[in-house]
Amino acid sequence: MNQDRRKFLKTVFHSGLAITVFPSGVFASEGGNSNLYAFIVDTEKCIGCGKCASACREENNVPKDCYRTWIERYRIMENGEVKVDSPHGGEHGFEPVKDTGKVEKAFFVPKLCNHCKDPNCVQVCPVGATYVSKEGFVLVDEKQCVACGYCIQACPYGARFLNPVTNVADKCTWCFHRVKQGLDPACVTVCPAKARLFGKIDDVNSSVHKVLKEKRLQILKPETGNNPMAFYIGLDKEVR
């Protein structure tokens, strides 16, 4: 009886630790898939230049007013007020603003599809048009999508949109077509501040491997249980 209880408590303790420190099973050595990729956004490095968003639009022919990636600017005022903006998705950078009160802290947060491990969008797609590739990329089969919009509603991050040209659900693919050729996603390539990192989780030479092993990371909206594979460094509590 006591043995059982000890075993149970041990399991609970280890599970708790695993959840707190890092989402379990990310590394192959922890029972994960060795082909998986991860994306890391360092909000402490992002300068809000918008190069990533415009490179994405060019690389992927993203239609006007639709965004596969965007940058949010946060200004947290002395009185606690939080001001957030993202004009044109931050694609053209950010104009300086004159705030009346004192800005306590300000920072940029790039956003994109999180390519979740347990994606809600894949769960709700009624025809299986949205799926997870063996490398962990969440993709859309344009020929299968009926454009019902259920995935758009189900994504808690606002990462999906209805492409007005193809008339199907669209989103960031982490530039799957480039990655297949051994290249990094366009946004990662053009980032002058190295605020975006991408690579194979288990590849010791990849830019993400060491960061994943050593840094304390956050994910967006962990309460949804979607288990994003995009991790953030320096995420403020005000970011949703």
Partner 1 sequence: MHEIITQGFLFPNEIHVHWSLMIVLYPYITGLVAGAFIVSSLYHVFGVKELEPIAKFSLVGAFCFLIFACTPLLFHLGHPERALNIMFTPKFTSAMSGFGYIYAFYLLLVILEIWLVFRPDIVRLADKGKGIVKVFYTVLALGSSDVSEETLKVDRKITLFLASVGIPSACILHGYVGFLFGSLKSNPWWSTPLMPVIFLLSAIVSGISVLAVSYVVVMKIKKQPVDNACLKSLFTYLWAFFILDVTLESLEVITMLYESHEEWHIISQMLTQKLGFSYIFLQMSVCSVIPFIMLGFVVLKKMKNSTRNTLGIICSVMILVQVLAMRWNVVIGGQLFSKSLRGLTSYTPTVLGREGLLVALVLLAAPFVTMYIFNLILPLWDKTDAKAEEA
> Least distance from C-beta 138 to partner 1, angstroms?
14
* Complex with partner 1: residue 137 or 150, whichever CB lies closer: 150
Q: Which residues lie closer than 8 Å to 103 by C-beta, 6 or more apart?
A: 75, 76, 77, 78
> Least distance from C-beta 38 to partner 1, angstroms?
22
> Least distance from C-beta 199 to partner 1, angstroms?
26
Task: Label residue 227 exposed, middle or buried (CB < 10 Å: 0-12, 13-18, 19+).
Answer: middle
* Complex with partner 1: residue 12 or 84, whichever CB lies closer: 84
User: By the criterion CB under 8 A, which residues form the site for partner 1?
Assistant: 65-67, 70, 72, 82, 84-86, 88-89, 111, 120, 122-128, 144-150, 152-162, 167-168, 224-225, 240
Q: What's the rounded Cα separation, in Å, for the pair 47 and 188?
A: 14
> Least distance from C-beta 67 to partner 1, angstroms?
4
Task: Label residue 214 exposed, middle or buried (CB < 10 Å: 0-12, 13-18, 19+).
Answer: exposed
* Complex with partner 1: residue 83 or 211, whichever CB lies closer: 83
> Least distance from C-beta 108 to partner 1, angstroms?
14
* Complex with partner 1: residue 47 or 147, whichever CB lies closer: 147
Cα-trace Rg, the chain: 19
* Complex with partner 1: residue 36 or 116, whichever CB lies closer: 116
Task: Label residue 54 exposed, middle or buried (CB < 10 Å: 0-12, 13-18, 19+).
Answer: buried
